[in-house]
Amino acid sequence: MTTVAAWLAAVQPAPPPALAARLAVLLEPYQSLGATHVPESCLAAGEHLLDALLASGATTRGTALDLLAVDALVTYAFQAAADEPQRLEARAARAMARIASLPENRPD
């Protein structure tokens, strides 16, 4: 069985080394799940990181790697989701709604 970690390691073209390392850390909680979990795992990891960045206001040049990681995770989620085109529209709608609701703890 292919895992989330194996799917990420096989992505072509491969991400630059620093981004690949950051993605591996972010996907660590999901790494042993089957590859069918790649779309949701990538979205969950990307949402979690984006929520933390937005909630802290950390969206400067110093957080560029994390912002690139969020972008890569969402891109990979939909790259993997393309294997199930019949679910793509519903998955995209859910992802947009979830991302649009971030950060969870909005300052007043």
**31 C-beta neighbours (distance < 10 Å), count:** 15
How do residues 56-83 score in pLDDT, each as one tens digit?
Answer: 887 778 899 999 999 999 999 999 988 7
Is this structure's pTM higher than 0.75? yes
Query: Residue 72's closest CA among 2, 34, 36, 25?
Result: 25
Question: Would you say 1 and 35 are in contact if contact means Cβ atoms under 8 Å apart?
Answer: yes
Q: Which residues contact 33 (CB under 8 A, 6 or more apart)?
A: 3, 4, 41
Q: How confident is the model at residue 108 (pLDDT cuts 50, 70, 90)?
A: very low
Question: Would you say 4 and 31 are in contact if contact means Cβ atoms under 8 Å apart?
Answer: yes
Separation in Å, CA 89 to CA 40, 82, 95, 96: 14, 10, 10, 11
Domain assignments of the chain as residue spans, ordered by start? 4-8+17-100
Give the pLDDT of residue 17. Answer: 96
